[in-house]
Chain A
Amino acid sequence: MKMIQVQDLWWKYEAGQQYALKGINTEIDKGEFVAIVGPNDHGKSTLCMCMNGLIPHAFRGEIKGNLEVAGIDTIHSDIPTISTKVGTVLQNPESQFVQMTVVDNIVFGPENLGISPEEIKRRVGSLTKLTRTEGLLERTPDELSGGQKQRVAIASALAMTPEILILDEPTSELDPVGKTEVFSLLGRLKREANLTVVLVSHLMEEIVKYADRVMLLYEGKIELDAPPAEFFSNGDYLADKGVELPQVTEAGYLFDRSKRLLNAYPLTLESAYNAFRNVLTEGR
């Protein structure tokens, strides 16, 4: 089942000189985990804002094409309707904390949708378990770490029971511990909830662990869209577009460039260990 369908999508900000998105075409299946990578200001966040309806409803500009998310035409629908299907997690954990306590922040969305208190309570119970925020409910933002705040932001987005979760660089302002916390939660979401996830990130090491597909957005166009192994096999091309490879992939790439001994470039430390061990012990 197609959860996101984008057809020839163009978008230009009112103050922009040129289109930020230029003829985007893609489809994302239910339960798929798609990572969007690319240099800054090349349209990643803009595409996310199209998917959650902020574009064109909260930004002025010119839009062309079609975009359907969970069966909703986001261009002609309103944000509250879209928000029942799409949860959004932004870069800055502080700014997403619009209420004074963790529990108030989690229930903010469902309250706005007029969900009954009993149902909200049920959601709080299950979500805090999933995001491991049970013990934090009465805490204020200054009593939380960055990783905890972002987990609360994810719980707040999930409290709307969305079918799609969009995360726009959710770890860019976190320390390594916070990053690990958020990605391990994303891993848990992938395993336990049949959620469609769109993640914008520069952390290639983490992307290869969770993503089913990786998409390169460059100058407003999708330049490459493939499963991680295939995507990162284009080392020179990606380097040319300003995208870093996972370190182990880069090591494999440099190692194999002349000798052609590896069957595939490793994506994780474990696969790199196995690949290099095979070459060293067996010659392949």
Chain B
Amino acid sequence: MSTGRLSKSTVKGFIGYIRTDTPFFSLSPVTKLAVTLILSAIVLLIDDPRPLLVCLIFTLVLILLAKAPIKAMKLYTIGVLWMSCMCIFFNVIFRQSGDVVFQYGLLRVTTEGTIRGASILLKLLSMAYLTIFFVTSLRDRDIVYGLYTLRVPYSMIFVAALTFRSWGLFQTDLDTIRDAMTSRGLDFNKGNAFARAKKFVSVLVPLISILVKRIDDITKSVETRAFGSGIQRTYYHNIGLEHIDYAIIVGCFAALILTGILRYYYGLLSFSPYGL
């Protein structure tokens, strides 16, 4: 249950709790998705590390404004940094042209390797943080409401909603079965990987049995509430975009077009200033 100090201004999000008192909370999920995709495309068009650094700072400002949960960010940042380190390492190792910046034995770091490595690092970080901005400012229901807005057929929306809903049920059932088995002396952490996997097979039998019962109940529940009636469905929620949503999406598109022009018409934002 969402209780405690945070509950007044937070709601349970897709990942962690999200603040409701931010400029992004009331935006349509479609807008958030559009911002994420368009800004990611802009980042992909740019090679020069300097404007990429500006993009990264802009993304971090977005995250700060969205008051994304730090706990959720920490986890992702560790993963992203690990991936980025690998990218830099391979770029530095395999890009050997240009001036040598540093050499230690066979390890040679060149200007090209450094610039290309920095570019990829900044691209990855920007896109990763944009995804974090998207994911941590959303609730699972926002994704469903977004699908409404995009006029996706209701059967698909219902499947998405039921998937999100069922995940929680599945976790609860799995935990219950595991607890029951643990209380009867089965240690899931004991033994090698094969032995542990074998123990999980024993969980599957009751789990499948429960799932079948749940599916039966859910079917009965939706059937008795006229699901699939063939009647033109209405929507209780206002699923249109507001003016602010349109303004933001148009603004992002304008930025994308501008970036394309600067890159391909004027030759800016590329590696050309570095002679690469």
Contacts and interface: CB of A to CB of B under 8 A. Distances in A.
Given A100-B165, A141-B165, A143-B12, A86 B236 contact: no
B218 interface: yes
A70 B197 CA distance: 54
A115 B141 contact: no
Nearest to A115: B234
B236 A103 contact: yes
Interface stretch (B21-29, B110-118, B223-231): B223-231
Q: Which of B164, B165, B222, B231 gathers the greatest number of chain A CB atoms within 10 Å? A: B165
Nearest to B145: A104
Nearest to B3: A143
Contacts, number: 116
Contacts of A101: 141
Contacts of B236: 103-104, 107, 110-111, 117, 120-121, 124
B219 interface: yes
A156 B225 contact: yes
B233 interface: yes
A80 B230 contact: yes
B161 A99 contact: yes
A84 B164 contact: no
Given A100-B165, A111-B235, A143-B2, A88 B226 contact: no
Contacts of B219: 58
Given A80-B226, A121-B236, A104 B214 contact: no
15 contacts: A79-B223, A88-B224, A90-B220, A97-B165, A98-B222, A104-B141, A112-B228, A112-B233, A113-B226, A113-B231, A114-B233, A114-B234, A117-B236, A121-B236, A143-B12
Interface string B223-261: 111111111111110000000000000000000000000
Interface in B136-179: 139-141, 144, 161-162, 164-165, 168-169, 172
A116 interface: yes
Contacts of B222: 98, 108
B11 interface: yes
Nearest to B166: A98
A268 interface: no
A52 interface: yes
Contacts of B220: 49, 54, 58, 88, 90
A104 B161 CA distance: 10
A79 B226 contact: yes
Contacts of A138: 11
A142 interface: yes
Contacts of B227: 108, 112
Contact of B235 (A87, A98, A117): A117
A96 B227 CA distance: 13
Contacts of B168: 141-142
Nearest to A168: B220
Given A98-B165, A108-B225, A113-B229, A90 B217 contact: yes
